[in-house]
Amino acid sequence: MTKLMMGNDVAKAMKERLIQDVEALKANGVNPCLSIIRVGERPDDLAYERGAKKRMELVGITCKTIELSEDISQKELEDAIQKANEDTKIHGILMFSPLPGTLNEEKARQMIHPLKDVDGMNPVNAAKVFSGDPSGFAPCTPEAVLAMLDHYGIVLEGKRVVVIGRSKVVGRPLAMLLLARNATVTICHTRTKELEKTCREAEILIAAAGKANMVTKEMIGESAVVVDVGINVDADGNLCGDVDFEDVKQKASQISPVPKGVGSVTTSVLAEHVVRGAKYLNTVD
């Protein structure tokens, strides 16, 4: 019988810990606060913002959005980031990306203070993730995958893990986090030859390609664990993952659905990062 890995169960378990941490911070006079920087009104950003706000509220974290218009200048954006960097009441900064093409996103990422960079956008944090230094912030989605695997007691050490996708926000950092946990990691991408065969060898297969239903049961090894990070819209306009759920469910031992899978854990990881930021910034003050 295939076991479902549900994001809400993971988020629920994380919520109890987060509430305790936030209460402890508040007892010491620290009100953890996340600042979201949003340029324009992309539907994806607005949807994520709603989810993040709800999650922060649930655990007692303040969440403020800095709304900037789509035609903002680079200088105005950088001023907004700088202001959030300097505000001692803000412990985490999340800037939505991609930014409009008129803006220099790399420069904006570099400007986010590494100690407030709760979605691991600054190259300082990326370097820490890549060097196996746990003191930095990894992007929330790859950490959400680990939180899900941990919650369901899936041991990573020594396991053959295949990650489909090599983006800077998901595939690559995820591969590094898995490596730090002593998994044997293979990264697949659009130029990978024999994708099916490689995926079939995985004990744990993680799909982060952004291609609706591309993973079918022919790509799954017997009893593999399958985690679906993809968020896509299928031909009928329904939300779906990268994994053909009904097909793969017949073969996988454990599988995460879309929706209600990894996406539901991401904002909990974000909340954890804000708490970490608040603890850290108030220790060094």
Give the dihedral of Cα atoms 208, 135, 10, 168; nearest 10 deg: -10
Q: Is the Cβ of residue 116 or residue 172 nearer to ligand NAD in the bound state?
A: 172
200-219: contacts with ligand NAD (CB under 6 A): 208-211, 214
Among 54, 83, 107, 189, binds ligand NAD (CB under 6 A): 189
| Candidate ranges 22-30, 34-42, 115-123, 228-236; the one touching ligand NAD (CB under 6 A) | 228-236
33/148 with CB nearer ligand NAD: 148
Residue 239, H or E segment: strand 239-240
Q: Which stretch binds ligand NAD (CB under 6 A): 56-64, 105-113, 148-156, 185-193?
A: 185-193
- HSE toward the beta carbon, residue 210, CA cutoff 13 A: 8
Burial state string for 83-120 with b = 16 or more CB within 10 A and e = fewer than 16: ebbeeeebbbbbbbbebeeebebeebbebbbbbbbbbb
**Amino acid, single-letter form, for residue 70:** E
In the complex, the smallest distance separating the C-beta of residue 144 from ligand NAD, rounded to whole angstroms, is 6
Q: Starting from the edge strand earliest in sequence, which strands make up the sheet with 62-68, in order?
A: 62-68, 33-39, 92-95
156 binds ligand NAD, rule: CB under 6 A: no
Which DSSP symbol is given to 215?
B
Closest distance of CB 166 from ligand NAD, Å: 4
In this complex, which beta carbon is closest to ligand NAD, that of residue 68 or of residue 170? 170
When CB distances to ligand NAD are compared, the closest residue is 167
Question: Residue 135 and residue 124: Cα distance in Å, rounded?
Answer: 11
Q: What is the spatial distance between Cα 239 and Cα 64, in angstroms, rounded to a whole number?
A: 28
Among 199, 131, 140, 116, residue whose Cα is nearest residue 165: 199
Pure H helices in the chain:
7-27, 43-59, 74-86, 105-111, 123-131, 140-151, 171-180, 195-200, 245-249, 263-284
Q: Per CB under 6 A, does 225 bind ligand NAD?
A: no
Nearest to ligand NAD of 254, 266 (CB atom): 266
Smallest CA-to-CA distance from 53 within 274, 276, 267, 266 is with 267
Q: Which C-beta is closer to ligand NAD: that of 142 or that of 221? A: 142
If binding is defined by CB under 6 A, does position 230 make contact with ligand NAD? yes
Work out whether 129 is an interface residue with ligand NAD (CB under 6 A). no
Window contacting ligand NAD (CB under 6 A); options: 69-77, 93-101, 223-231, 273-281: 223-231
81 part of the interface to ligand NAD, by CB under 6 A: no
Question: CB 139 → ligand NAD: shortest distance, Å?
Answer: 8
* # residues near ligand NAD by CB under 6 A: 25
With beta carbons less than 8 A apart as the criterion, state whether 109 and 123 touch. Answer: yes
**Interaction residues for ligand NAD, span 163-182 (CB under 6 A):** 164-167, 169-171
Indicate whether 62 belongs to the interface with ligand NAD (CB under 6 A).
Answer: no
Binding positions for ligand NAD, rule: CB under 6 A: 141, 164-167, 169-171, 188-190, 192, 195, 208-211, 214, 229-232, 262-263, 266
